[in-house]
Amino acid sequence: MSDAQDRLSQMGELAQRWQKLWQAQLQQQLSGQPRAQVPDPQSIQHTFEALWRAVLEKPAPMLQAQADFWRDYGALTEQAMRQYWQGEAVPTGAADKRFKDELWNSNPLFGFIKQAYLLTARHIQASVDAAEGLDPGTSRRAAFYTRQFVDAMAPTNFLAGNPTALKATLESGGENLFKGFTHLLEDLERNDGRLMPRMTDLGAFRLGEHIATTPGKVVFQNALMQLIQYAPATGKVHRTPLLVVPPWINKFYILDLKPKNSLLKWLVEQGHTVFVISWVNPDARHRDQGFEDYMRRGVLAALDAIAAATGEQRVNAAAYCIGGTLLAASLAYMAAANDKSYPASRIKSAAFFTTMIDFSEPGELGVFIDEEQLGGLDRYMEEKGYLEGHQMAGVFNLLRENDLIWSFVVNNYLLGREPMPFDLLYWNCDSTRMPAAMHRFYLRKMYLENVLKDAGGVVLGGVPIDMRRIKTPAYFISAREDHIAPWQSTYAGARLLQGPVRFVLGGSGHIAGIVNPPSANKYGYAINPALPATPAEWLAGSSAQEGSWWTDWQAWLQPFVGKPIAAREPGGGGLAAIEDAPGSYVRAKLD
């Protein structure tokens, strides 16, 4: 068979696969099966209906914005003519990773396309921001949805407007487009018709071999979690064990990626007996597991298991993101419940990584939180018993759409390239579901109603809890560029606790700001021993420090770690080993 015949055969196969996908999607639409869409199309429609009404009632800001646009566009056109006829240099403008090809700056046509797009995008967003008469929630949603549209329309996302893709097409005779269409079909087939570009080589990593390799054993498990105890790396260890509570929205091994950036491995090397909760990847059987269940069968069950394994009733605890929200709620419950089995003293110190307790300023996640959208999620979860993992993944990707969506559309589909192996992005693609009861409670009580910060706002086990009753020494680490847990919000939560609190502000974002080993010597952090009334005051009085916050936390922990004792082997205490780390719960993949 000739090359041409072979290529025709391959194209016929692709066409058949495309038709099969289209038919499957049509059948799914006609079947009436429940689907949760992010963003919710009705929310988008209602948001822009409200925006249009506001513009009609007060058109002056929009008219002024249009006048400003045509003025600036006229100036840009005049500049482009000078560049063409007089050879004037194309302005480079602000750095933007989408426009890194040299033709965007050296070619007048592409230079004009770039500048025209950036000008239009800026004015569209400014026009929406200038609209008067919208409530804050609607205004925030309008700005967010507008940004999604503007970024989706970037010329770099289309073949004709992307010089790098055009060059690849000419050089390869269109091979990049053939490969790109193949990648598109593979993604649609893998994701049940949803457009979710592959971010990394999904076959490049295996848990326990390339990532999540810190040696240990599962020593306890129940329906909601496995508890892993890590093997010691030192002859002596601190007497007080360390419990790590990760978020249940993602898998715990974000803290145990490659050995060089594993926080869990580093903690073991500092002499801690480290235990970590590995949450179950839930299905319909877990639909009724709520926030209180995660406290009792997660945090409290882990305390009992650690006591059985080590003989120690007291632990130091650390928790990441919403794992920290759960830890804070558990501490407040222990402080208020008068339960002799779980006095607040069982946790000697608590560290909170990018944790919100006060959700007054939830950042862009607040775009997805209102009665209309939560009502749609409730109906979907009532039918399914859980929220699909791809829904949460989609939300987080939209917060950084150019980095986590459109860059891969260009790389995978226009350029026809394979994504690079990257441990962090592999973890990002390893989604988890949310039990209906848990997720409903969390979104409403924390985000929508924001009552966790209020005395008695949340009731667990029949006990009204109050963050102000927590006297446990606490360490808060937040990230300056965090788009999921804005540091100003985490700071507000830190001020609710009544024990000694150390607040530290690291660099970068929600992940890189936490997974920041000392060996990397990146970002640095800021400290301020005081907790003034506002984040701005705290920042003004802070001092910059070099290195990683890991070493700062380790120094802060020293009064709570206890005397050195002989190293503990997993399974060598009161609990037998069940299986090797990282355990079976974390290996569960979504269908």
- For the stretch 440-480, pLDDT in tens is 999 999 999 999 999 999 999 999 999 999 999 999 999 99
| Residue among 244, 418, 388, 399 nearest 326 (CA) | 244
Catalytic residue among 36, 300, 321, 465: 321
Q: Which two tokens stand for residue 80?
A: 């482009």
Residue 354 CA to residue 511 CA, distance in Å, equals: 9
| Beta-sheet pairing, 474-479 with 501-506 | parallel
Give the pLDDT band (50/70/90) at residue 31. Answer: low
| Count of CA atoms in the C-beta half-sphere (13 A) of 138 | 17
Give the pLDDT band (50/70/90) at residue 345. Answer: very high
What's 201-243 look like in SS3?
CCCCCCECCCECCCCEEEEEECCCEEEEEECCCCCEEECCCEE
| Residue among 292, 297, 324 nearest 485 (CA) | 324
Planar angle of CA 170, 104, 71, nearest 5 degrees? 130
pLDDT at 36: 59
Read off the pLDDT of residues 227-254 as tens digits, 9 standing for 90 and up: 999 999 999 999 999 999 999 999 999 9
Q: Which two tokens stand for residue 537?
A: 């005051």
pLDDT of 175 above 70:
yes
Residue 180 CA to residue 197 CA, distance in Å, equals: 11
Q: Assign 131 to helix, strand or coil.
A: coil
Length of the chain: 591
Cis amide linkage into residue 61, ω under 30° from 0: no
Identify whether 429 is a catalytic site residue: no
| Residue among 407, 328, 410 nearest 161 (CA) | 410
The amino acid at residue 458 is: V
Give the pLDDT band (50/70/90) at residue 386. Answer: very high
User: What count of other Cβ atoms lies within 10 Å of the Cβ of residue 516?
Assistant: 25
pLDDT of 35 above 80:
no
pLDDT at 91: 63
The amino acid at residue 213 is: T
pLDDT at 19: 74
